[in-house]
Amino acid sequence: MPVFRSLKSTIIWLFIPIIIVFVLVTGTISFILASQQLKENSITNLNDTIAQTKSLLSDKLTAFIAELIGLENKSEWISIMNKTDDPGVPLDPEDYIFMNKALDSYFERYSMLDSVLFYYNAGRVSLFKQNNSLISTVNISLDDYSRKLDSDRLSVIKWLNIHDETGLSTPQVISVYRMFGIDRSETKGIFMMNLKSRFFSDLLNNAKISKNGYLCIVSDDGVMSFKHVEEKYDIDEAVLQKELMTADKPSGQINIKNKYGEKMLIVYDTLSLNKWKVAAIVPEGELFNKVNSIGLVIITVMLLVIIFAVVVSNIVAHIITKPLIKLTQTVNRIDDGNLAIECNAVPSNEIGVLSRGIQDMTLRIRNLLTEVKEEQEKKRSAELAVLQSQIKPHFLYNTLFSIKQLCEMEENKDAAEMVTALSNFYRISINKGNEVIPISLEIEHIRNYLYIQQMRYGEDFIYEIDIDPEIMNCHIVKLTLQPLVENAIYHGMKQKRGQGLIRIRGQLANQEVRLYVEDNGNGMSDEEVKAINQSLREEEDSGNVLGFGIGNVNKRLQLNYGACYGLVYENRISGGIIAMIRIPFYG
């Protein structure tokens, strides 16, 4: 049997999944596109930050390289260095005044300058200036600086990442220098500028990346970073140097996982003047934190849209199905047999047309049922009349035949009493045309009949009548017991040796009136009883198993009380037959 599902639930279960799928697909696509765009924007912002930092560094550092290169082109410096090459030529005071002013000009032009060193020809010229303090004598080893050069040519500009210049007592500086001489084995001097680390720290820390993201400068000789991050986001400097200094491309991005398992993104670019790497290091989780936020917002919006869709679907389904539900309730009432319905305030649409059609249909059905009921009542009354008219001549024939026999035997008194009993019998039978009489009258009727029959048969049988008083006022179709008693006398007593017994009992059981007519005759076989009961259940006695009177009694009972009532036969335990009448009890 198919499962019933209302139209409202069908609409809801049809549209809600479609809406949910649409929202999920749209939300997922939106999230993917938004996350990709945000990631691209984040990478772009990092690249822009690195590009700005690189540009600023290049501008500043290029100026120092120009100063170092320009030293050879100034005649005053060339003259001073040539004088020191000849041990017999001393430097003039004007030379020292020039060098001091030249160094002072560097500090005036570059605020990020920490100190300047000019050392030449084994210290014949030795100037170191820091914070406006001039030191004329310093002891340094040129070999320490020449070994750090990237080639044998001394004219190469060398950059040193953040370090401590212990020989000059200048901690945390960034150095750039140029050496003088033929080659590494014959170095004559050095010109070095030391830059303040604060300049680099301000530059690197001003870039706002994320809570634990930072900029750094990486070179072969070290890593310059000033921001302290959470320990779990630390990257080993050796690993960082290896990844960046061995990168195939001058710019790009690298994804690595640190020793704490955190995924770190490194976006870098290269300074052309010294091949240092300017890198932005940021945890991927923080960089794409906005992506997660967007995802949360999209999920929240999706949930709200789904909830809204569910509510709207319920409202729409209710609006659509409300008239249909009313129409369904009307049809259910019709199905329950209630045809007295009216469809008030029907909508002016297809449902309204259907409602008015059902109302017109029920009106026609009511009229047809009324007509059918009247026809059936007429038919039932006609059938009862025909059946009873058939019974009356049958009984009258048998009774008159008995009176005739008494008259022939000159039993006039008995014949007169039989005529009196017969008149009483027909008085009750006629009963002013009523087809249904109280059981008390039916019992009086059968007493007259038994009196007539006992007058005829003498001492061949006796009878007993035992009726429960509470059913005496219950009504029954008249002439119900007489054919059964007649059948018991003619078929039960004829083959009986000795005195026969006919017992009539009546009682109330399960809201039914049950009347029993039993005899102590020879009875019938179980197959014959079964055949009789089968014929009683059938509309027609096709096998001629039932007699005329018994068949009519059963039909009249069923016409009045329904097919579930009527006659049932069974064998009597001590011999004989019991005919049971079942009719409803109306107290």
- Mapping DSSP onto H, E and C, the string for 318-346 reads HHHHHHHHHHHHHHHHHHCCCCCCCCCCC
Q: What is d(CA 183, CA 281) in angstroms, rounded to the nearest whole number?
A: 39
Q: What angle do CA 323, 327, 331 make, to 5 degrees?
A: 170
Task: Dihedral sign for Cα 306, 308, 312, 317, please.
Answer: positive
pLDDT at 542: 46
Report the mean per-residue pLDDT for the chain: 82
pLDDT at 268: 94
pLDDT of residue 467 exceeding 90, the answer is yes
CB atoms within 10 A of CB 560: 19
pLDDT band at 512 (very low <50, low <70, confident <90, very high): very high
Q: Are the C-beta atoms of residues 264 and 235 closer than 8 Å to each other? A: yes
Q: What is d(CA 200, CA 59) in angstroms, rounded to the nearest whole number?
A: 13
Burial classification of residue 266, based on how many CB atoms lie within 10 Å of its CB (0-12 exposed, 13-18 middle, 19 or more buried): buried
CB atoms within 10 A of CB 191: 20
User: Which stretch, 108-117, 121-130, 298-307, has highest mean pLDDT?
Assistant: 108-117
pLDDT of residue 423 exceeding 90, the answer is no
Q: What is d(CA 482, CA 471) in angstroms, rounded to the nearest whole number?
A: 18
User: Which stretch, 145-154, 319-328, 330-339, has highest mean pLDDT?
Assistant: 145-154
Beta carbons within 8 Å of 301's beta carbon, 6+ residues apart: 27
Q: What is d(CA 498, CA 514) in angstroms, rounded to the nearest whole number?
A: 29
- Better-predicted residue by pLDDT, 118 or 429: 118
Report the interhelical angle of 350-408 vs 439-457 (nearest 10°).
30
- Better-predicted residue by pLDDT, 354 or 382: 354
Average pLDDT, stretch 453-469? 84
Give the DSSP per-residue string, 353-412.
Answer: HHHHHHHHHHHHHHHHHHHHHHHHHHHHHHHHHHHHHHHHHHHHHHHHHHHHHHHHTT-H
pLDDT at 195: 93
pLDDT band at 341 (very low <50, low <70, confident <90, very high): low
Amino acid at 101: K
| Residue 174: both structure tokens together | 């960034």
pLDDT of residue 581 exceeding 90, the answer is yes
End-to-end, the C-alpha distance of the chain in Å comes to 43
Average pLDDT, stretch 495-510? 87
Report the interhelical angle of 350-408 vs 412-430 (nearest 10°).
170
Q: Which residues of 48-70 are buried (b: 16+ CB within 10 A; e: fewer)?
A: ebbeebbeebeeebeebbebbee
Q: How far is CA 43 from its chain centroid? A: 40
Beta carbons within 8 Å of 229's beta carbon, 6+ residues apart: 212, 213, 214
- Better-predicted residue by pLDDT, 310 or 382: 310
Q: What is d(CA 132, CA 123) in angstroms, rounded to the nearest whole number?
A: 21
Beta carbons within 8 Å of 81's beta carbon, 6+ residues apart: 120, 121, 125, 180, 189
CB atoms within 10 A of CB 442: 25
pLDDT band at 23 (very low <50, low <70, confident <90, very high): confident
User: Which stretch, 169-173, 297-301, 448-452, has highest mean pLDDT?
Assistant: 169-173
pLDDT band at 276 (very low <50, low <70, confident <90, very high): very high
Q: What is d(CA 534, CA 148) in angstroms, rounded to the nearest whole number?
A: 126
Q: What is d(CA 138, CA 379) in angstroms, rounded to the nearest whole number?
A: 144
pLDDT of residue 381 exceeding 70, the answer is no
pLDDT band at 166 (very low <50, low <70, confident <90, very high): confident
Q: What is d(CA 560, CA 554) in angstroms, rounded to the nearest whole number?
A: 10
Average pLDDT, stretch 506-528? 90
pLDDT at 161: 93
- Better-predicted residue by pLDDT, 347 or 22: 22
Q: Residues, the chain, total?
A: 587
Average pLDDT, stretch 78-101? 82
Q: What is d(CA 120, CA 85) in angstroms, rounded to the nearest whole number?
A: 9
Average pLDDT, stretch 432-459? 82
pLDDT of residue 232 exceeding 70, the answer is yes
Average pLDDT, stretch 52-77? 84
Distances (CA, A) of 380 to 327, 375, 477: 37, 9, 13
Strands of the sheet with 277-283, listed across from one edge? 222-224, 214-219, 277-283, 263-270, 252-257
pLDDT at 386: 54
- Better-predicted residue by pLDDT, 146 or 429: 146
Q: Are the C-beta atoms of residues 20 and 244 closer than 8 Å to each other? A: no
Q: Are the C-beta atoms of residues 165 and 149 closer than 8 Å to each other? A: no
Q: Are the C-beta atoms of residues 142 and 190 closer than 8 Å to each other? A: yes
Contacts for 282-286: CB closer than 8 Å, 24+ residues apart: 282/46, 282/209, 282/210, 282/212, 282/213, 282/214, 283/210, 283/212, 283/213, 283/233, 284/255, 286/210, 286/211, 286/212, 286/213
